[in-house]
Chains A and B, each alone.
Chain A
Amino acid sequence: MNADFSRNHFELFALPVSFDIDVAALERAYRDLQREVHPDRFAAASDAEKRLAAQWATRANEGYLTLKSPLKRGRYFLHINGIETEEESNTAMPIEFLEQQMEWREAVVDAKAARDEPKLDELAAQRIAEEKSLFEKLAQQLSMSAALPDARLTVRKLRFLEKLGEEIDEAFEVITA
């Protein structure tokens, strides 16, 4: 027997279905929910209850993880509005965006090889600034239903930036080891 999980993540945490959420309210709702459903509350319960608790707690963790991250939240918001971001299949990106990405990636590789920490710091700051402006754009697009299809490209761009961030982190790890 499975619990009823027909609610979407926003509804699960009793939040308005909107990209722009109150993060503090999300954290509060997540904690309140885990207090009720976490398997630790059911260590002495029947197997059926333990199973339910595990399902609910998993659901709460998944929902929290999705809503906490702005990129995942944006992707998910589009998904529940019937729009898929197709990040794996749709690789058509504006050429100038791709060129900029290539440039940054090469700069990260060079800075890593040269163990140039200040340069990495600079690249990290540039990435964060770019990400910030894209998130602002995303928030705007997701607040108008007519702009939702355009938001797909913004999400795909943000995924590129996320990967770039991972590469920068990895480079920091290597040169500070």
Chain B
Amino acid sequence: MALLQIAEPGEATAPHQHRLAVGIDLGTTNSLVATVKSGVAEVLRNHDGTLLLPSVVRYEKSGPATVGAIAKAAQADDPENTIVSVKRFMGRGIADVARYGALPYRFIDAPGMVKIETAAGVKSPVDVSAEILKVLRVQAEESLAGELVGAVITVPAYFDDAQRQATRDAARLAGLNVLRLLNEPTAAAVAYGLDNASEGTYAVFDLGGGTFDISILRLAKGIFEVLATNGDSSLGGDDFDQAIGAHWRNANGIASASHRDTRRLLMKAREVKELLTTQENAEATLPLSYGQEFRLKLSRQEFQAMTAALVQRTLQPVKKALRDAKLTIADIDGIVMVGGATRMPHVQKAVADFFGKTPLNNLDPDKVVALGAAIQANVLAGNRAADDLLLLDVIPLSLGLETMGGLVEKVIPRNSTIPMARAQEFTTFKDGQTAMAIHVVQGERELVKDCRSLARFELRGIPPMVAGAARIQVMFQVDADGLLSVSARETVSGVETRIEVKPSYGLSDIEIADMLKASFSHADEDMQARALSEQRVDAARMIEALQAALAKDGVTLLSGDERTTIEAAMKSLAAAATGANHHIIKDAIAQLSTVTEDFAARRMDRSVADALRGKKLEDVKI
């Protein structure tokens, strides 16, 4: 870490301005924000000096939403308006949330994702998550005394496209520039691997408050390659609390408890669960709203017996991930434990027994994801030579299309390394058919009804042909965030109908901008100032990068005329950036991007050629 930095010949010698970037672990129970300072990743503290921000948001009739410890303290008094574990509702429909049992919220059925009626109006899980992220953004900006270039937000590896979209929307709604959505186990592996300079094959076992992930990664020379991932996006520490709650209710005859009492019961259950990590026995007093008070006891042995099935449920995904990675237990060099719920001794034991190895626990399981995200954010923001760290991640669930008879045709199989693109050809079923319904689904099952529906759209304007003559090419593209876009075109007739789809719950860019605008109480000027500052940062980075590129490859890859055009566009951008109109800067950036396209392509070709000739940059430097 303490190496001296030497600029490349011809490059500006002024040290790079350190770009403020953060990693955010948006957790079911707690959320954290971390950053890299002087080469070391650290979690940033809240105003009250704590590291963990409880992921709890309370909405009252008037005033802004309360977030964190204060909201958490109100959960038993105002359960209907105090949203806990909102992560479980991200990208989920009303039928999904019904599976979590009795919840105190007034859910509203909405296309794609539930909404919740609160004292402050109807809120979607995206809104609620955005409140949490906003607090973390402000906290980071205050603590780092500057504006953030961007953030890496972590998501469970087993999150599907709907859940990822929702998370990204929430981050944008919170005014964050999302550098990347990063899978939580991968983030943990980064923090862990870099800390321990490990090489080999690792399993990351991540049991959080509401989600379970298992990822198998290969670490070699700074590359973290995810071989397979699996999990259960509705299994976590919360379920252990529920199990204790259900047990007490039965054992003590606490019938038909109110929402308040249920909330209290679960809070006590969590306390006792945590105590049982270090103690053999624990007890709590539960005062109920109708005056009765219960003394509740539980031994570790009882607790472990009643939750054995939950622990067992984690092992099935582990086996599947190993099988998908074509590995056996013997191939695993180490197991990394992540998430607060892995503190439970019987979880530790089950994992150790399964792998025949003691899991690694030397990093705080609550912090490790945020730390890894901060390291990746630092790389993406350009503060560190990306040379030494590269993450190759996968999609967790297969993506496909509905075909005749409600069957799924898989287009991109699970555990494909991203980014990935795949085209699939279809044809018409009837003579003269001019439209085709395209239904995009995600999941492993063979029937459409057993998979998650992501989007439906229609390709229209197919020229009438006999059945089977048309060739409809449906293209799936998954980007480095694991997000899908789909387009379709008819190839025989040359008629191209292209439709970009977003999952049905997804918000359009305009909607996000409008919501963002509305959420800033002091409205327009702030938005303008923010946009201006963002565009200036982008302009400066682009010019800096281009100058370096020109110094390196300008002579060999560009003609005199091309270079003149590029330099003129660069000057225009520099001039625009001194002005106060963010629209003009944006246009100048787009203009410069256009005139440098060919140059960028040639540079890319050259670096590809160099890489494969084995003529690595490091060799040249010596």
Near B by CB (< 8 A), chain A positions 158-177 give 169, 172-173, 176-177
What is the 8 Å Cβ interface bit string for chain B, positions 405-421, against chain A (1 contact, 0 not)? 00000000000111111
What is the 8 Å Cβ interface bit string for chain B, positions 599-615, against chain A (1 contact, 0 not)? 01100110110111110
User: Are B593 and A48 in contact, with the CB atoms below 8 A?
Assistant: yes
User: Are A36 and B379 in contact, with the CB atoms below 8 A?
Assistant: no
Looking at the complex, which one of A4, A29, A31, A38 makes contact with B605 (CB distance below 8 Å)?
A4
* Chain B residues closer than 8 Å to A64, beta-carbon distance: 417
* Chain B residues closer than 8 Å to A169, beta-carbon distance: 323
User: Are A49 and B541 in contact, with the CB atoms below 8 A?
Assistant: no
A57 on interface, CB distance cutoff 8 Å: yes
CA distance A41 to B179 in the complex (A): 12
> How far apart are A39's CB and chain B's nearest CB, in angstroms?
4
User: Are A48 and B541 in contact, with the CB atoms below 8 A?
Assistant: no
- Answer whether A35 and B387 are a contact pair too, CB < 8 Å, given A3-B604, A49-B600, A58-B420: yes
CA distance A14 to B613 in the complex (A): 8
- Answer whether A40 and B542 are a contact pair too, CB < 8 Å, given A1-B598, A14-B613, A61-B416: no
What is the 8 Å Cβ interface bit string for chain A, positions 30-44, against chain B (1 contact, 0 not)? 011111111111011
User: Are A56 and B479 in contact, with the CB atoms below 8 A?
Assistant: no
- Answer whether A48 and B600 are a contact pair too, CB < 8 Å, given A36-B608, A65-B417, A177-B316: yes
CA distance A169 to B542 in the complex (A): 50
Near B by CB (< 8 A), chain A positions 13-62 give 13-14, 29, 31-41, 43-49, 52-54, 56-58, 61-62
CA distance A39 to B181 in the complex (A): 13
User: Are A61 and B417 in contact, with the CB atoms below 8 A?
Assistant: yes
B616 on interface, CB distance cutoff 8 Å: yes
Near A by CB (< 8 A), chain B positions 390-442 give 390-392, 416-421
> How far apart are A35's CB and chain B's nearest CB, in angstroms?
6
Q: Quick one: closest A residue to B537, CB to CB?
A: A44
* Chain A residues closer than 8 Å to B604, beta-carbon distance: 3, 36-37, 49, 52-53, 56
User: Are A31 and B386 in contact, with the CB atoms below 8 A?
Assistant: no
A31, A38, A43, A54, most chain B CB atoms within 10 A: A43
- Answer whether A39 and B419 are a contact pair too, CB < 8 Å, given A34-B390, A48-B597: yes
CA distance A45 to B546 in the complex (A): 9
- Answer whether A40 and B596 are a contact pair too, CB < 8 Å, given A61-B416, A64-B417: no
> What range describes how many residues of B lie at the interface?
35 or more
* Chain A residues closer than 8 Å to B541, beta-carbon distance: 44
CA distance A38 to B479 in the complex (A): 11
CA distance A110 to B557 in the complex (A): 65
* Chain B residues closer than 8 Å to A14, beta-carbon distance: 612-613
* Chain A residues closer than 8 Å to B390, beta-carbon distance: 31, 34-35, 38, 40-41
User: Are A31 and B221 in contact, with the CB atoms below 8 A?
Assistant: yes
User: Are A32 and B180 in contact, with the CB atoms below 8 A?
Assistant: no
B382 on interface, CB distance cutoff 8 Å: yes
User: Are A54 and B419 in contact, with the CB atoms below 8 A?
Assistant: yes
CA distance A62 to B541 in the complex (A): 31
User: Are A34 and B392 in contact, with the CB atoms below 8 A?
Assistant: yes
> How far apart are B394's CB and chain A's nearest CB, in angstroms?
10
Near A by CB (< 8 A), chain B positions 271-325 give 316, 319-320, 323
> How far apart are B580's CB and chain A's nearest CB, in angstroms?
23
Q: Quick one: closest B residue to A2, CB to CB?
A: B601
Compute the total of residue contacts between A and B using a CB distance below 8 Å.
117
Looking at the complex, which one of B320, B380, B381, B387 makes contact with A173 (CB distance below 8 Å)?
B320
- Answer whether A40 and B607 are a contact pair too, CB < 8 Å, given A32-B612, A176-B319: no
* Chain B residues closer than 8 Å to A57, beta-carbon distance: 419, 480
* Chain A residues closer than 8 Å to B386, beta-carbon distance: 35, 40-41
User: Are A3 and B601 in contact, with the CB atoms below 8 A?
Assistant: yes
- Answer whether A46 and B593 are a contact pair too, CB < 8 Å, given A58-B420, A58-B421, A65-B416: yes
> How far apart are B153's CB and chain A's nearest CB, in angstroms?
14
> How far apart are A31's CB and chain B's nearest CB, in angstroms?
5
User: Are B612 and A40 in contact, with the CB atoms below 8 A?
Assistant: no
B454 on interface, CB distance cutoff 8 Å: no
> What range describes how many residues of A lie at the interface?
35 or more
CA distance A57 to B320 in the complex (A): 27
User: Are B607 and A37 in contact, with the CB atoms below 8 A?
Assistant: yes
CA distance A52 to B607 in the complex (A): 13
* Chain B residues closer than 8 Å to A44, beta-carbon distance: 380-382, 541, 545
User: Are A61 and B419 in contact, with the CB atoms below 8 A?
Assistant: yes
User: Are B542 and A46 in contact, with the CB atoms below 8 A?
Assistant: yes
> How far apart are B306's CB and chain A's nearest CB, in angstroms?
21
Q: Quick one: closest A residue to B595, CB to CB?
A: A48
User: Are A45 and B387 in contact, with the CB atoms below 8 A?
Assistant: no
CA distance A173 to B316 in the complex (A): 8
Q: Quick one: closest A residue to B616, CB to CB?
A: A32
B594 on interface, CB distance cutoff 8 Å: yes
Q: Quick one: closest A residue to B179, CB to CB?
A: A43
CA distance A56 to B600 in the complex (A): 12
- Answer whether A34 and B600 are a contact pair too, CB < 8 Å, given A43-B180, A61-B417: no
CA distance A61 to B420 in the complex (A): 7
> How far apart are B293's CB and chain A's nearest CB, in angstroms?
43
B513 on interface, CB distance cutoff 8 Å: no
Near A by CB (< 8 A), chain B positions 566-621 give 589-590, 592-594, 596-598, 600-601, 604-605, 607-608, 610-614, 616
User: Are A56 and B608 in contact, with the CB atoms below 8 A?
Assistant: yes
* Chain A residues closer than 8 Å to B180, beta-carbon distance: 40, 43
* Chain B residues closer than 8 Å to A33, beta-carbon distance: 608, 611-612
CA distance A48 to B591 in the complex (A): 11
CA distance A84 to B164 in the complex (A): 38
User: Are A54 and B480 in contact, with the CB atoms below 8 A?
Assistant: yes
> How far apart are B487's CB and chain A's nearest CB, in angstroms?
14
Listed in ascending order, the chain A residues whose CB lies under 8 Å from chain B are 1, 3-4, 13-14, 29, 31-41, 43-49, 52-54, 56-58, 61-62, 64-65, 169, 172-173, 176-177
Listed in ascending order, the chain B residues whose CB lies under 8 Å from chain A are 150, 179-180, 220-221, 223, 316, 319-320, 323, 376, 379-382, 386-387, 390-392, 416-421, 477, 479-480, 541-542, 545, 589-590, 592-594, 596-598, 600-601, 604-605, 607-608, 610-614, 616
- 8 extra interface residue pairs, beta carbon distance < 8 Å, beyond A36-B607, A40-B480, A44-B382: A3-B605, A31-B221, A32-B611, A54-B480, A61-B416, A62-B420, A64-B417, A169-B323
A-B contact pairs, 18 of them (CB 8 A): A3-B601, A4-B605, A14-B613, A33-B612, A34-B223, A35-B386, A36-B611, A37-B604, A37-B607, A37-B608, A39-B419, A39-B480, A44-B380, A49-B600, A49-B604, A52-B601, A172-B323, A176-B319
A-B interface, 9 closest residue pairs, ranked by CB to CB distance from nearest: A46-B593, A43-B380, A14-B612, A39-B480, A48-B597, A32-B611, A36-B607, A44-B382, A36-B611
